[in-house]
Structure 1
Amino acid sequence: MIHEDLIGSPVHVKRVVMNILTNAIKYNKNNGKICIEFNEIQKNYNTIIIRFKCEDTGIGMSESFQKTIYEPFAQEKAGARTVYGGTGLGMPITKSLVEKMGGTISFESEQGVGTTFYIELPFQIDHNIKHEELKTKEIKKASIKGVNVLLAEDNELNMEIAEFVLESAGANVIKAFNGKEALEIFKESKLGEIDIILMDVMMPVMDGLEAARYIRWSNKENARDIPIIAMTANAFTEDRRRVLEAGMNEHLAKPLESEVLIKTIANYCGKVDHFK
């Protein structure tokens, strides 16, 4: 059965599928094969479970490495795997995203033969969407295509997700992993190279509040005008006050909602598309 409308996180699903397929391609052999399948394996009135299967004929994994595949920075130390590079964060991030969505991930692998991953994800069925209304009324869609975003975030997973959301929407992302890096990148940038700054509040070396103050105090031509958006898990009135006092324009609560993030950036950068 085809379900036209499901409730879930398309950003996280795309990130998971992309990570698995990237690995299947990266670690495959010359003239190797990759087989992918999507199947509905369970359904009731409100919920379905989709199984994603990715089977490759690649180099596979040793039994010892299979035990550590979900550990951060884990990589096979011997054999052909070392020539492929990478940070060793792809599978930990994938597992974390799958679990955040309430799903499961498992695999079968044999060294020299190949690997098969199984991912099962639950989705709610949306019974309430009104298709005809969506087709006939004018829709305003926020666009951030071509916007240059300086993204300051010290958490690797949060950075990965935010970067994927922004780049999928057409933005260009410049990454900084603490406030000091963000400040230096901004000070060294030319006018027009950065349109907006997304700044995590809690970061090592220099936090987001301090970095925002230094940006506003700097002698850069656009230092007073460039939008700075705070990102923080704390959404209390006092936190918002501190953000505004530091010279930031807006306060977004974590976990970030992709639509809210894109609309906020589009609002400050003046990009909204109209279509029917």
Structure 2
Amino acid sequence: MNIISNAVKYNKEKGEILLSYYETQVDDRHILFEFHCKDTGVGMSKEFQNHIFEPFTQETGGARSVYGGTGLGMPITKKLIEKMGGTIKFESEKNVGTTFMVQLPFLISADMKHAESQEDDVSIGGMRILLAEDNELNMEIAEFLLTNAGAEIIRASNGKEAVEAFAKSGVGEINVILMDIMMPVMDGLEATREIRTMNRSDASAVVIIARGGISIGQ
């Protein structure tokens, strides 16, 4: 969606956007899809093309600088695609346009109904998750994935903020805490100890998961 929204945002008046995809069966269990998004927009300078996937990088001095933004859209997009085992490439020419090419592999299921029933059994829709993460890019990616899955996110940029957010919440209001271990002000382990010793019924019961998938007990 970020690629398409950029194609719209940075296009010219009466410009065009062409979306296409191709599929190639790799073997009897895997298939590869390639998605193309081609626009007739303002394009990118050679210098900016070398840094487009770097966090907080924006092109200045051109039409792109008018629209602003955080400079996190493309780095997040690239990370998400790579987490899915895919690749992203692009071709761009200043004042001519840009074409993005994304390749994503998929597993061909022999029993789609069985796979769908398994997916239905696991859902985080409606859950309230306290997300403690000091790295802004990691925070953006995690929040994007979790909210897309239907969860409500409470953000904390360090352990102290996580402790304060949990203390302010109602009993049982937070279902899960995702806790980064290495954070400034107060690290994840100390924050966990603070939460576990609070005088409230859910302090010892709330699930706290450290980055890396380790469940933190008392």
> Are the aligned partners of 1:150 and 1:194 in contact in 2 as well (CA < 8 Å)?
yes
Q: Against the structure 1 CA distance between its residues 113 and 125, is the aligned structure 2 distance closer, same or farther, given a 3 Å change threshold?
A: same
AA aligned to 1:205 is V
> Hey, what's the Cα distance between the residues in 2 that align with 1:222 and 1:198?
19
Aligned mate of 2:206, from 221, 224, 227: 227
Aligned to 1:244: 217
**1:94-141 Cα distance to aligned partner (Å, 9 max, x none):** 2233334443221111222321101122223233x264x679x89963
1:62 matched to 2:42? The reply is: no
> Are the aligned partners of 1:152 and 1:182 in contact in 2 as well (CA < 8 Å)?
yes
> Are the aligned partners of 2:178 and 2:211 in contact in 1 as well (CA < 8 Å)?
no
Aligned to 2:64: 81
AA aligned to 1:70 is F
Counterparts of 1:1-276 in structure 2, within 5 Å, are 18-41=1-24, 43-127=26-110, 129=111, 131=113, 141-189=121-169, 194-218=174-198, 224=203, 227-233=206-212, 235=214, 243-245=216-218
Taking structure 1 as the reference length, the TM-score comes to: 0.66
> Hey, what's the Cα distance between the residues in 1 that align with 2:118 and 2:89?
44
Q: Against the structure 1 CA distance between its residues 234 and 30, is the aligned structure 2 distance closer, same or farther, given a 3 Å change threshold?
A: same
Deviation at 1:189, TM superposition (A): 4.2
Greater Cα shift, 192-201 or 89-98: 192-201
Aligned residues: 218
> Are the aligned partners of 1:54 and 1:117 in contact in 2 as well (CA < 8 Å)?
yes
Segments of 5+ residues of structure 1 without an aligned counterpart are 1-17, 246-276
Deviation at 1:226, TM superposition (A): 6.2
> Are the aligned partners of 2:174 and 2:206 in contact in 1 as well (CA < 8 Å)?
no
The alignment's C-alpha RMSD in Å is: 3.1
Q: Against the structure 1 CA distance between its residues 72 and 169, is the aligned structure 2 distance closer, same or farther, given a 3 Å change threshold?
A: closer
Greater Cα shift, 141-150 or 103-112: 141-150
AA aligned to 2:185 is V
AA aligned to 2:206 is P
Structure 1 vs Structure 2: percent identity of aligned residues? 56
